[in-house]
Amino acid sequence: MEKIYEKINQLAEKYRDYTAENLSKLVKIKSLSMEEENVQLELKRQMEEAGFDEVRIDGLGNVIGRIGNGKKILAIDGHMDTVDLGNLKNWDFDPLGGEIKDGFVHGRGTVDQEGGPAAFVTSGKILKELGFDKDMTIYFVGSVMEEDCDGLCWKYIIEEEGIKPDFVISTEPTNLGIYRGHRGRMEIRVTFNGISCHGSAPERGDNAIYKASRAALEIEKLNETLKHDDFLGKGTVTISEFKSESPSLCAVSDYAHLHLDRRLTWGETKESAVAEIENIVKELGGIVEVLYYEETAWTGLKYGMEKYYPTWKIPENHKIVQTGKKVFENLFKKEPNIDKWTFSTNGVTINGMYGIPTIGFGPGNEVLAHAPNEKVPIEHLVIASAFYAAYAYEIA
């Protein structure tokens, strides 16, 4: 294995420019959720050019490349959709320029998270060049719609495509650390109904805004009392939207709703989170519901899931984490940082729903995710492409 590690490092370095240029091509293609078609076709082209055994696009629009045909299955995932550009005045460079300069690839999606897929294309090229012949199937997945609905893509892959890996690496940005979990989340709507009347005599009506406001103040207090986990941190709840309606601006409101962003730490569940809110709003007549996502993919397929994204974490002594640690140490002669994400990933489905052992390892610093001036070090791309290739050998 020592010679394999040495060759992998050499090839990752050899393809430094190749990886950066592939990422640049992806960044130049705007790829919001449900609008990924062109970037998916480019990723498919790159996989084919790299010599993958099979490359196809599934019904939801995920690009799935395959190397090998063994019994054990490793999947390496990276989502190809990005958030929008935001205020262009906050950028020091063209967010869709894909500029390669000063040791970085610049632009929207370089960190979150097309840098991971660009690196795993190179990993596939390395594996083919080395003649990878282990009893393993490796799927390289450029997934869709993650920014809109974490894990929806993998719900489709597992339930509709029938692919259920033994192990998964998420290429979301980890600053080259090995990540083993994150808090879950859910989206909750709380609805309040009132009775309208003329605004000159509000005592005749029942103002839905007042009900929602009382609830909002109690939800603010609830946030301070939520559970804490030593690894994942504290659960949180915040109100991210307050909307109301009335027959006119001279009338008492007869409708209001609150949209809650609820982050779930270890030990918190959908049921416990809903019960906490129901307890607050029951005397106010509030109706609590977990929202449902259903949208049409770029392929024309309508697909959806509940907006509940389970908490997950992998024990540090688990084989998948320890294999990552061994690979990192053998490749780079130092210990990796083992940690967690602050935000949410497709791991909510892969591990949170289906229990598939999952770790994260990706190029880029997550603080640049969704931020202006997003850029990724080319050195990170080189290291990630070596890591994914070596991991396939080691886990096999």
Q: Which residues are catalytic?
A: 81, 146
**Alpha-helix runs per DSSP H in the chain:** 2-14, 16-27, 37-49, 115-129, 152-159, 208-223, 270-281, 319-332, 347-350, 378-395
Number of CB atoms found within 10 A of residue 286's CB: 23
- Bond preceding residue 113 cis, omega within 30 of 0: yes
List CB contacts of 253: < 8 A, sequence separation 6 or more.
194, 196, 207, 208, 209, 244, 245, 246
Residues 171, 78 contacting (CB under 8 angstroms): yes
Alpha carbon distance 68, 45 (integer Å) = 19
List, in sequence order, every residue forming a beta bridge with 262; answer none if it has no partner.
Answer: 186, 237
Widest distance between CA atoms in the chain: 84
**HSE-CB for 233 with a 13 A CA cutoff:** 11
Q: Specify the DSSP class assigned to residue 151.
A: T
Number of CB atoms found within 10 A of residue 87's CB: 7
List, in sequence order, every residue forming a beta bridge with 236; answer none if it has no partner.
Answer: 263
List CB contacts of 301: < 8 A, sequence separation 6 or more.
59, 60, 61
| The pair of three-digit structure tokens given for residue 190, joined into one six-digit string | 């709380």
List CB contacts of 92: < 8 A, sequence separation 6 or more.
372, 373
Alpha carbon distance 77, 139 (integer Å) = 8
Cα 30 to chain centroid, rounded: 18
